[in-house]
Amino acid sequence: MDVYGTKQIRNVVLLGHGGAGKSTVAEALAYLTGVTKRMGKVSDGNTISDYDKEEIKRQFSISTTMVPIEYQGAEGKVKINLLDTPGYFDFVGEVEEAVSVADAAIIVVNCKAGIEVGTEKAWELCEEYRLPRIIFVTNMDDDHASFRELILKLEKQFGRKIAPFQVPIRENEKFVGFVNAVKMEGRRFTNLSDYEECEIDNGLQGVKRTDLIVAKYKRDSLTGLESVTIAVIKGTSGDNYTDPEYVEGNILNGDDEDDFLLYRVKINGLAIEKVETMFNTLLDVKSIYDKLVVVNNLAAAAVPNSKITQSSAVTASGYVLDAREKNASISGTLAYMLNNFSTKIDLLWSNNGSNFVKPDNALARQSLVSVRNFDNELYDAFIIMYGQGQLVGIRNYDGALCYLIQFLNLTTPENNVYIAFREVKVERTVEDIGNRKLYVSSIYVYGCQHRSVMSGGSLAINNNNSIPYKIYGIRK
């Protein structure tokens, strides 16, 4: 074996449940790269990684073994140190040691057995050490192995990070090859280590289908609790793109179910051809938002988290809107408008009918929010919801000013349009307390005035308009 520098060395750890096939994968890689001249078997006790007498006797790994292989990569030859780890939890210390020095991980999963405890532990270790990882599926030649079912379980367990690079080709219930999903090329096995190019079956390419990603709303008729879950409604394969059936309900009218259309995904064979946004304007999103206000105001979430909650039992102070993913908001108009903020939105104040005073003059003011935080200013800006669902933003700095503006169509004089507005101001102070700084941001709301849009209209107090209902803080 050649001498390699540190830049040409990769440490890759093999993880997974006991009996999933880690040692067999290491043996196969060693054979394919020419390290060995024959393929050993765990059952025969002649694999290169399980050489200890106890390992041969018990037919499972007891300690971590390094299997070095050479590979011709795109940027030259590299040395890959495969770290074959034990799968049984009695030897978890060996696994931790291997993971701590690894650059990447291969999680080995038995297709027939599916997700096991060792699979979950392996994923957790990769998350803890932030290791890039791939999942290697073994036992594909078993008649009862279902690759599709395994992928669905992996997606459910580990989320949208799961994306198959290869799809198996089965003929007469036998595993005979695979489709490279990236290159869309079929490959049929000719012997243990070789394959030949083959045509992709019509069942794997050229078939068109439309899937809908929806926010499924459901109300429990017995408890009255509501929930919204992100789901995919898969369409039927055919020659044309036809939307699958979905629930057309109206929760404002008391319906227990409703599907809010989010994205239309057009699939051609194994490839995603086009993704269309089902809400193209702010008005469309606002209609979704207005409906979900009935559920529980801003019960919102991001697509990767796969779930929107909450029930009517959640208090106003418990709402947190996650808007870290660009365009990821489903039910939140606020997140849609603020998808450029890589942050969170917190509800700071809510009008409960008794905590807002209507001053009798334009100069009278009331402090609705006072945020106190040591050592760092917590919020970059604030969002105020008022009137009939209007939103206005204001930056968090001393003297920042905005107006809650509302247009009114009054009958006296007939069909005259009035404009109502209420001033909102931020006052911020910074105090030195010992060796720490205390930041205090207060939001003051003034009395509402209104006047006719017609020329010469005079100002008058009208506190029944431009009323604030909620104030949100945008975290830095």
Give pLDDT, residue 317: 25
Q: Is pLDDT of 475 > 90?
A: no
The DSSP letter of residue 91 is G
Give the number of other Cβ atoms within 10 Å of residue 368's Cβ.
20
CA 289 to chain CA centroid, nearest Å: 20
Give the helix, strand, coil percentages of the chain, each rounded to 5: 20, 40, 40
Q: How many helices (H) and strands (E) does the chain have?
A: 7, 24
Residues 6+ apart with CB under 8 A from 108: 14, 15, 16, 20, 21, 22, 25, 135, 136, 138
- Torsion angles phi and psi, residue 96, rounded to 5: -60, -40
The b-or-e profile of 290-303 (16+ CB within 10 A means b, else e) is ebbbebbbbbbbbb
d(CA 446, CA 468): 11
User: If you write DSSP's letter for every residue of 323-372 in order, what string do you get?
Assistant: --STT-BSS-HHHHHTTT--SEEEEEEE--SSS----SSTT-EEEEEEEE
pLDDT band of residue 324 (cuts 50, 70, 90) is: very low
The DSSP letter of residue 412 is S
d(CA 388, CA 465): 9
Residue range 89-111: average pLDDT?
91
d(CA 428, CA 364): 19
Dump pLDDT digits (tens) for 367-425.
Answer: 999 988 877 777 888 888 887 667 888 888 899 999 988 776 555 555 566 778 889 99
Contact 350, 467 (CB under 8 A): no
Residue of 333 and 250 predicted with greater confidence: 250
Which range in 98-107, 209-218, 341-350 is most confidently predicted, on average pLDDT? 98-107
Dump pLDDT digits (tens) for 202-259.
Answer: 444 456 788 887 777 777 777 766 666 767 788 877 777 889 999 988 766 678 888 8
Q: Is pLDDT of 102 > 90?
A: yes
The average confidence (pLDDT) of the chain is 76
Lowest mean pLDDT among 283-292, 324-333, 466-475: 324-333
Report residue 54 as tokens: 């106890």
Residue range 59-70: average pLDDT?
89
* For helices 117-129 and 92-101, angle between their N-to-C axes, nearest 10 degrees: 40
Beginning with the edge strand found earlier in the chain, give each strand of the sheet holding 185-189 in spatial order: 166-171, 174-180, 185-189, 195-198
CA–CA distance from 398 to each of 364, 377, 440, 442 (Å)? 19, 12, 10, 9
Lowest mean pLDDT among 106-115, 133-142, 386-395, 432-441: 386-395
pLDDT band of residue 132 (cuts 50, 70, 90) is: very high
